Amino acid sequence: MKYQRFKEQDIIEKTQDMIRLLVSRQTDSFMKQLDGGFVLIGDYDPLHIQNGPGPVSPGPLSPDPEVGGVISGEEYAVVSHERCLWVICGCFTITAYMDGRLPAASKIAFTFVWKQNEETLLLVHLNMSYNRPQPRNSGGLPETGRSIASLPAQPPSAGLETKMSLRDLDGKIHYIFPSEILYIKSDNKICHIFTAESDFPVRVTLHRLYRPPFLLIHRSYLVNRNYVREICRYQATLLNGIQIPIGKEKYMEIKKALSC
């Protein structure tokens, strides 16, 4: 019997697709990829579980049933592979952008178990843990203590940006838009990526990460120009109050760049 050899990246991309089907409420397409013995364990109320074929049929996943969600801060890690079974864990943040109201964000942790059936992958188990949405101006995430009260509430545009794939030092792969990154700090060939929700280290040079909307503000720092509130000699203050040094030789260059 012929079996396709799936790679780790195949499993990650398959999981990404299923998450997007849930968030976009494409229940029929989601259902077609479930194994006959599929079981879901999680927070049933936020997931809006609906009746359907199989033991459990998930419906739309969104902070508000009337509002779509934007996915960000994705992390994926294949933790087990034995014969025909793949287990992948991770998390992502879903943000609802509501007209006339503050955006709400929730972080969701998940575990997917895939079974290979000849040349097809079928989902046999899904576990999701959902934190109820909190207003983005509530003073930041409790686990980090960072204030994100003043960060712009604009979803990344997939039509204008391409997601970056960054593997951290623990082997987790993060898929994020450049616009989600506040700043990047280089430290002895390790770059620390800072977003509004988290931070993580990657083994990559600062030069390889240098692209719009980042400014090389210091030989050890890239900063997202959209999050700079003010500058003075010789530091920049971000919208959330974090201060970053500006290289003396770069001050006039950065001042000119930010005025454009």
* pLDDT tens by residue, the chain, 260 residues: 455 788 888 999 999 999 988 888 888 899 999 988 888 775 544 433 333 333 333 333 333 334 456 788 888 888 888 878 899 988 888 876 555 455 567 788 888 999 988 788 999 999 887 654 444 443 333 333 333 333 443 444 444 568 889 999 999 999 988 888 999 999 988 999 998 888 999 999 999 999 888 999 999 999 999 889 899 989 999 888 899 999 999 999 999 888 86
- Side-chain half-sphere CA neighbours of 239 within 13 A: 20
What DSSP character marks residue 178? Answer: G
Q: Long-range CB contacts (< 8 A, 24+ apart) of 159-165? A: 164/209
Instruction: Order the strands of the 228-232 sheet from edge to edge.
Output: 228-232, 235-238, 243-245
